[in-house]
Amino acid sequence: MPKKLLLLPPLSASSAFRVPRARPVPPPTMNAARTGYRVFSANSTAACTELAKRITERLGAELGKSVVYQETNGETRVEIKESVRGQDIFIIQTIPRDVNTAVMELLIMAYALKTACARNIIGVIPYFPYSKQSKMRKRGSIVCKLLASMLAKAGLTHIITMDLHQKEIQGFFSFPVDNLRASPFLLQYIQEEVRNHHFTISLCPSRAQSYAERLRLGLAVIHGEAQCTELDMDDGRHSPPMVKNATVHPGLELPLMMAKEKPPITVVGDVGGRIAIIVDDIIDDVESFVAAAEILKERGAYKIYVMATHGILSAEAPRLIEESSVDEVVVTNTVPHEVQKLQCPKIKTVDISLILSEAIRRIHNGESMAYLFRNITVDD
């Protein structure tokens, strides 16, 4: 049976060596993903995710899909429920009373995101835990530096925090740290909510001079207030501690340092008929603030405010504040303290989600952070 052939027209000389044009290949969709970002919350408790929700609302974004929970044996488990490959990831971690659990949640989530090929992992930690343990104490350790090393090992590439207890803590990290300030929000609260603030006087212990200069107020000093032991003998100068009946090299007689003895609490400056504002970075144990408030009342202070960035308010702090001469305690929401507010109506909260959300936006877009540090000096 004859076979049928399909005859094609002969090729012309011009078309014999013509190469077909290649169609343009669209760029891979992964490039689009590399320009995105996601915001996750590393907390396993609902009360601690409130700040993360406020930040994402300001950014017009949604919280990343993840599950953080505690196993029955106390272990922390983190599961990422969406792709994060090639993206900038921001982990918002507020620190509740269970500090160690919160730290493990942050470390495990960072490592999970690193394993999932995230491009950058930025920790948003408004209150940095263990910041008070940033100096050597006898035979102790600098726990804050240990935590910084652990975060870097887990995969973090950047940290956003607020009002570190000691600014030198930034030197513990091997990656960038943005130490934001809450003072603009607290100053705004004074100007808007404290009546007759022009007759206010700011009191030390720490950052009151900056507040007094910006509000054009007088400055008084509380002298003799019980300070943290890190200012006394636990700063490493007695490491190892002195031992009785120790063997001394013949002829070696070092001058003996006299022991410190704190004088009774007193106020240097006139506070009569004025509103007094005590400024600090952390309010945890409130005994020293309560004692200072009693002295101020005896000296004729009209009202007494206590202002700080981080309101930890541990143990019996709400009850002591409620029973004291303090009229109002103003803190930011870097640390969840809704339970303490129910116990003490004197506690007021200032929202700082605005500056945190703006920091996230600028870091993702590669913009300068200088705008967030306007008029901020080294002493602030």
Rounded-to-integer distance, Cα 340 and Cα 322, Å: 11
CA 282 to chain centre: 11
Q: Which two tokens stand for residue 310?
A: 């981080």
299-348 confidence digits (pLDDT tens): 999 899 999 999 999 889 999 999 999 999 999 999 999 999 999 999 99
- Check pLDDT > 60 for residue 225: no
CA 332 to chain centre: 11
- Asked if residue 123 lies in contact with residue 107, where contact means CB atoms within 8 angstroms, the answer is no
Residue 19 exposed, middle or buried by CB count within 10 Å (0-12, 13-18, 19+): exposed
Query: pLDDT value at position 377?
Result: 81
Crossing angle of helices 183-193 and 208-215, in 10° steps, is: 50
Strands (E), the chain: 37-41, 66-70, 76-80, 88-92, 120-125, 158-162, 177-180, 200-203, 218-223, 266-268, 275-279, 282-283, 303-311, 328-332, 347-350
Crossing angle of helices 353-365 and 50-59, in 10° steps, is: 50
- Check pLDDT > 50 for residue 115: yes
Most distant CA pair in the chain: distance in Å? 124
Rounded-to-integer distance, Cα 39 and Cα 303, Å: 42
Crossing angle of helices 99-115 and 143-154, in 10° steps, is: 30
Helix (H) or strand (E) holding 210: helix 208-215
Rounded-to-integer distance, Cα 153 and Cα 106, Å: 12
- Asked if residue 347 lies in contact with residue 340, where contact means CB atoms within 8 angstroms, the answer is yes
Q: What is the pLDDT confidence band of residue 61, given thresholds at 50, 70 and 90?
A: very high
The residues near 118 (Cβ < 8 Å, ≥ 6 apart) are: 84, 85, 86, 87, 88, 89, 155
Q: Which of 41-50, 99-108, 146-155 has the lowest mean pLDDT?
A: 41-50
Which amino acid, residue 342?
A: L
Query: pLDDT value at position 255?
Result: 83
Query: What is the 3-class SS of 354-370, one letter each residue?
Result: HHHHHHHHHHHHCCCCH
Measured at the alpha carbon of residue 283, what is the angle toward residues 373 and 130, in degrees to the nearest 5?
A: 75
Query: pLDDT value at position 3?
Result: 46
Query: pLDDT value at position 245?
Result: 56
- Check pLDDT > 90 for residue 43: no
SS3 at position 186: helix
Domains in the chain, CATH or no CATH each = 38-180 (3.40.50.2020), 184-226+264-350 (3.40.50.2020)
